[in-house]
Structures are given as C-alpha cells and as structure tokens.
Structure 1
Amino acid sequence: MKTQLSSHHEDKDLSTLNFLVTGGAGFIGSHLVEYLLKYSAGKVRVLDNFSTGFRKNLDSFWQYPNFELLEGDIRDLATCRDAVKDINIVFHEAALGSVPRSVNDPLMSNEVNVSGFINMLVAGRDEGVMRIIYAASSSTYGDSTELPKSEDRIGKPLSPYAVTKYVNELYADVFSKTYKMELIGLRYFNVFGPRQNPEGAYSAVIPRFIKMLMKGTKPVIHGDGNYSRDFTYIDNVLQMNIKAALTDSSAAINEVYNVAYGQQTTLNELVAEIKATLSKLDPQIADIFPEYGPERAGDIPHSLAAIEKAQRLLHYRPLFSFETGLRETVDWFIKEGEAERTTPLVEL
C-alpha cells in the first residue's frame, strides 16, 4: 500500500494557485494531480489524449469540485491555449516515453515531444503562465560515461527519444531568455511506483518484472543484466516537482535538475530484490530466474545521478530509497491483483 504523501509545499497556500498537468492520466502525472488535490490546490486541470494514460487513473479525482479534464492533444496549439487559460503553473508531463518506441517511430516521438512541447511553451507565454515545470530525461546524458552524471556535462544522444528531450531543454533555455519565462526542467531517472503500467511493448522494467514474476513467468533482461540504473521512487519525483513549482529563489529558476535518489542498481540486482520481496508470499518465486536477450539499441549502459544541485538550490531531500520504494510498489501490485487472484501467486 502506498504510504501517505508527505507535504512538500511547507507554508505555501496552494488554494491561491491554478495548476495544469499535461499527461495527467499517466503514471507521474496522475500522482501529481493526486498531490495537488490532496493539498487543496485552487484548480487542477488535466490535459490528456489517453494515448498512453488511463481513465482509471483519474477515477478518484472526480469527487473534487476543483478537478477538470480537458481531453485533447498537445500537438494541437488551440487545445494547448484552452488548457492554459487561467492557469498559474504547468506541470508538463505529456510525452511519448521509451527509447525503443522512438527507435521504431522517430517521427511520432518528435511530433509529440518536440512540437507538442513548443505548443505548450507558446500557449504558456501568450497566456502569461507564471511557471512551467517540464519533464526532461536522464537519456540526455547519452554516450557520456562519467558517473555520477552531473547536470552541466552531457554526451551525445543515443536515441531519437533522447534527442527530443534534449531539444526540450534547448527550447526552454531560449524561451526563458527571449520571452522572460520561468521554466524548470527535471531530468527523471527511471521513475517507478504504484499505478505504473506493466503491459505493452514499451512498459517500464520494474512493473513489468513484478507482474511477470507474480505470474510465474521468467523476466527478460536485455544484455547480461549488469547495466545499471538510478531507480527513483515516485514520491521523490513529486517532491522535486512541487519544490520546483513553488521555489522563490531566482537562482533556482530556469535551470535543469537531476531527479533521482543517487544509488546505482543493476538489472540483476533489481530482479533479485523483487524476487526476495515476492517470495515471502510465495516461496516458489525464488526459483524463477531471468532470461537474457540481446542488448537494445539506444540503451545507456549505466546511469547514476548527482543530486547535489537539487539539494542546494531546491532543498531536495529524497525520502524513499530504492529498497523502500520497491517494497511499496510490490505491495501495491499485490493488492491490486488480489481481487482477481484465487490461487497462489505462482503455479509452477
């Protein structure tokens, strides 16, 4: 079960602010919406076309009179203009994620992630939106082998997706200087947590592995399992978004930040950790071992974030370690599956 959200807005009164969350039916976006509604934000509007988000993620929000849904696509400028009307702060989470997806369809990734982003910037500029917090990506570090990865030193992108996310940062920098806008980019490092989609070809690795192991299926690892990631629990990401949205520090605005815990975990270690948690419920899961396949094009071998900049300028203090977050996530998937499960977790 997901723990109660911690308050990261300190003494700020959210009721005086109206928020837009693009991609608000998605994994990260819906958690942001949940936080804003829980802490009495003035208006919370979601813009989503449900291409990767889910209506069920919004089900619990309709009880709030200040919740609004605008169904539409960020690739349409008129829709973006409608979305930002009377909005103070935008959380721009709408994007087509996934490196493999971008390798398979670079045109679509560019349309959504670049053209859609510019539409939001132009709409926000013209409406006089106070600040836009946008989802950047650790994929921007590209072929840089330096660890930990520091915001001011990046390599060349390794995938179309990485190009789109880097272009977002470049446009944000230009718009901040040319139009005096307040823009903050958050380079997410492998975010995970409850409500993350485990299904489909482009699903994230943690929910996919959890579901496969619960079903008694061998998880498939691309490569030898020694690639590593800085897996980051969703509540740490919420904290960064809220702090970025509400900071009064001029030094903190128009910057890009790593959003991570600052710990390296290999895919082999990830599988072992999930197995250890699940096998307490069903010992047979301990006997399931992963299959290994070819490496995927565009994947970064190792990822570990330096988080000192966020700590210094935004007073970011990640509260959830990888291990704690993983237990929360596994618990959520178990509870979600209990209603439909009448047999043990695994039948071998």
Structure 2
Amino acid sequence: MSSKETVFFTGGAGFIGMHVVPMLLEKDYKVRIFDNMFRGDREAVAALGDDVELIDQDVRYGGAVHAAMKGCSKVIHAAAVSINKSQADPYESMDINMIGNHNVFAAAADHGVDRLVYCSSASVYGDPERLPMHEDDRLSPQTPYCISKRAGEDLLDFYHRRSGLSWVGLRFFNVYGPGQKTTAYYTSVINHFVNRIKNGEPPVIDGKGEQSMDFIHVHDIARSVVLALESEQDNKPVNIGTGIDTTIAELADILIEAVNADVTPIFNERDVIASRRAADITRAKEMLGFEPTIEVRKGMIDLIRAQ
C-alpha cells in the first residue's frame, strides 16, 4: 500500500495542469487526473509515469466525481469552459462551470479532504476601478465564465462554513506559455501580432495601444498552485499575477524583438476604451510565499523563439 498522498486534479490534462503535475510528482504526490479529454493530450499524460492516473470523465456527473475522489487528500479544480466559449454557449458554460464546481466542492467536503485549490480568474473583477487590483475590490463579472468563477468562490466559502472545507481560490491574471492553445481570448492578440511580424508585416494596434494586461508565465502559475496546496493559510481568494501591466504597444515591441523583424507597429487611430489590468500580489506573497520568477519580456521572447 503506497503511503504517498494522492491529489485529485480536475482538468489536469489541460494547459495549466500539464505544468502543475510534474511539480506535484517532484514533491512525491500521486496524481489522479479527472478530465473529459476534450482538449487533453493522452500521450502526454501517459508519459508522466505510473504515479499519474487518468479518469476520463466529466465534472457534470456528480456521482462520477464523488466516486473518483475517494482516497484523495487534496483537490485541485481547474476544469472549466473558456471565457469565449461561455459567451457563445452560456448553457454549456453554466452546466460545466457551475454544476461542475458544485459537484467537486460537495464531494471534497464529503470526503473531508485537507485542501481544495480552486483555479479562479481575475475576470471576476470586470473593469477595475483602480490599479493594482486587490482581492477586496468590488467584483463585477461580465460573462457566464466570469460569473461562474465568482460563484465558485462563494460556494467554497459556504462549504467551509458548513463542513470545514479548507480552500484557496487563485485568481489567475493573463496566463501565457508553452503548450497554450491559440484559442485563449487574449492570446489571439499575441498570435495575430506574431503572424504578421513573421510575414514581414507590421502589427496593427487599435488606438494608442494603451490597453494593458498582467501577463504571467504558466511556470509561475503552476508554482502558485503547489504553494496553495500546502499553504498554512486558507479560505481566501488570492491574486496570481506579476503586478506589472504590459500595454499592447509594449507587447508589440517585445514580439518584434523576439522575431528579430524590421517592422514598426501601425496605429489604427480610433477611440478605444483603454482597459488596464495589474494584480496586487501582496496577499500572494504573505499567504503563499509566492513571487513571480519569469519577467514578461524574457518569457515572451523565449516562447516565440521556441516555436
């Protein structure tokens, strides 16, 4: 009988999961991935070794979730429908993100797991009223995806009060890195720029390019998940970002440098609402001991040059 703890990981075969699982194995955990494999890579999962088990199932089925979680001491819940898809098909989004959330949280409470780490999102804030964005700021989620992420945090608080479930909700900012699908809603900007630059064409930027995002590398995201799994503090949402906002104009310059192209961005002069994002990561530092390690320029250049 193995003495290793088993981590139950919904959506563990996805982009973020495939960066987290190797870190869990390094810390001597076993991992039980629960994933419908809609976007997962079976060969990549199989290559992770004997301490990784794959259960090909869907979080919408509560009985399957409950049965599969038996014997697991920790849970990571990452399974979700993307933000773009949630707007195109709100019904599926509510089904997977809301019902799925509840199935996982209720099972974790029933099984008395030590810790549940929930992959939430900075999208719960909507358009921020100030920068950097703090966990106690007003939340204004705008899409079914964002609404479900906020509701997930509220559900976790309910199960903490009702059953003593220990949880940490990680509000991820704009994640990028190797292995990411090009369909992510903000990576389309990166892909559009890179495709034009590689073709010798200048990237086209709407307005003055003042819109910004807090880009955080998936390696740092994965580190935050493992830290949250073992943190002594719990039962709060935590921002996971760099604390630095990168404008679209700055992003274009970084990508031109990465491709080593001789082009200059074209600015499409029109009125653009310049939304900005940057995380206050004070709580992440204090509660998890987390600090980002990969600077945006280096991370972006490494990513593009590796393609």
Shift in Å, 1:38 = 3.4
Q: Does 1:44 align with 2:31?
A: yes
Q: 1:56 to 1:287 in 2, by over 3 A?
A: farther
Matching residue within 231, 246, 252 for 1:271: 252
Contact 2:8 2:74 in 1 (8 A): yes
1:229-283 residue CA offsets vs partner (Å, 9 max, x unmatched):
10001122122111111123xxx2111100011101012211220111111xxx3
Unaligned runs of 5+ in 2: none
State how far apart, in whole Å, the 2-side matches of 1:220 and 1:91 are. 39
1:57-98 residue CA offsets vs partner (Å, 9 max, x unmatched):
42531xx21111001110111221133121111111111122
State how far apart, in whole Å, the 2-side matches of 1:288 and 1:123 are. 54
Equivalent residue number for residue 212 of structure 1: 195
Q: How does 1:187-226 map to 2 (within 5 A)?
A: 187-198=171-182, 200=183, 202=185, 204-205=187-188, 208-209=191-192, 212-213=195-196, 216=199, 225-226=209-210
Matching residue within 10, 20, 40 for 1:32: 20
State how far apart, in whole Å, the 2-side matches of 1:221 and 1:77 are. 45
Report the 3-state secondary structure (helix = DSSP H, G, I; strand = E; otherwise coil) of the residue aligned with 2:306.
helix
| Normalised TM-score (structure 1) | 0.79
Shift in Å, 1:219 = 5.8
Match of 1:247, as an amino acid? Answer: S
State how far apart, in whole Å, the 1-side matches of 2:148 and 2:235 are. 19
State how far apart, in whole Å, the 2-side matches of 1:218 and 1:77 are. 50
Q: 1:85 to 1:204 in 2, by over 3 A?
A: farther
Identity fraction in percent: 30
Equivalent residue number for residue 297 of structure 2: 323
Shift in Å, 1:158 = 2.1
Report the 3-state secondary structure (helix = DSSP H, G, I; strand = E; otherwise coil) of the residue aligned with 1:16.
coil
Matching residue within 57, 64, 87 for 2:72: 87
Q: 1:59 to 1:135 in 2, by over 3 A?
A: same
1:133-176 residue CA offsets vs partner (Å, 9 max, x unmatched):
01111011113321110001123222222111111111111111
Q: 1:121 to 1:28 in 2, by over 3 A?
A: same
Equivalent residue number for residue 53 of structure 1: 40
Q: 1:218 to 1:114 in 2, by over 3 A?
A: farther
Contact 2:211 2:247 in 1 (8 A): yes
Report the 3-state secondary structure (helix = DSSP H, G, I; strand = E; otherwise coil) of the residue aligned with 1:109.
helix
Contact 1:193 1:328 in 2 (8 A): no
Contact 2:23 2:226 in 1 (8 A): no
Equivalent residue number for residue 125 of structure 1: 109
Equivalent residue number for residue 17 of structure 1: 5
Unaligned runs of 5+ in 1: 1-14, 334-348
Contact 1:197 1:203 in 2 (8 A): no
Q: 1:223 to 1:52 in 2, by over 3 A?
A: farther
Shift in Å, 1:203 = 7.0
Equivalent residue number for residue 230 of structure 1: 214
| Normalised TM-score (structure 2) | 0.89
Aligned residues: 304
State how far apart, in whole Å, the 1-side matches of 2:117 and 2:204 are. 34
Matching residue within 100, 104, 107 for 1:116: 100
- Of the structure 1 ranges 211-220 and 68-77, higher mean CA displacement relative to structure 2 is found in 211-220
State how far apart, in whole Å, the 1-side matches of 2:246 and 2:196 are. 19
Matching residue within 237, 243, 259 for 1:256: 237
Match of 2:31, as an amino acid? Answer: V
Q: 1:35 to 1:92 in 2, by over 3 A?
A: same
- Of the structure 1 ranges 266-275 and 209-218, higher mean CA displacement relative to structure 2 is found in 209-218
Contact 1:220 1:293 in 2 (8 A): no
Shift in Å, 1:54 = 3.2
State how far apart, in whole Å, the 2-side matches of 1:144 and 1:126 are. 36
Matching residue within 150, 155, 158 for 2:139: 155
Contact 1:89 1:245 in 2 (8 A): yes
Report the 3-state secondary structure (helix = DSSP H, G, I; strand = E; otherwise coil) of the residue aligned with 1:287.
coil
Equivalent residue number for residue 302 of structure 1: 276
State how far apart, in whole Å, the 2-side matches of 1:219 and 1:24 are. 35
Contact 1:103 1:159 in 2 (8 A): yes
Q: CA RMSD in A?
A: 2.7
State how far apart, in whole Å, the 2-side matches of 1:273 and 1:294 are. 23
Match of 2:65, as an amino acid? Answer: C
State how far apart, in whole Å, the 1-side matches of 2:150 and 2:274 are. 15
State how far apart, in whole Å, the 1-side matches of 2:222 and 2:231 are. 14
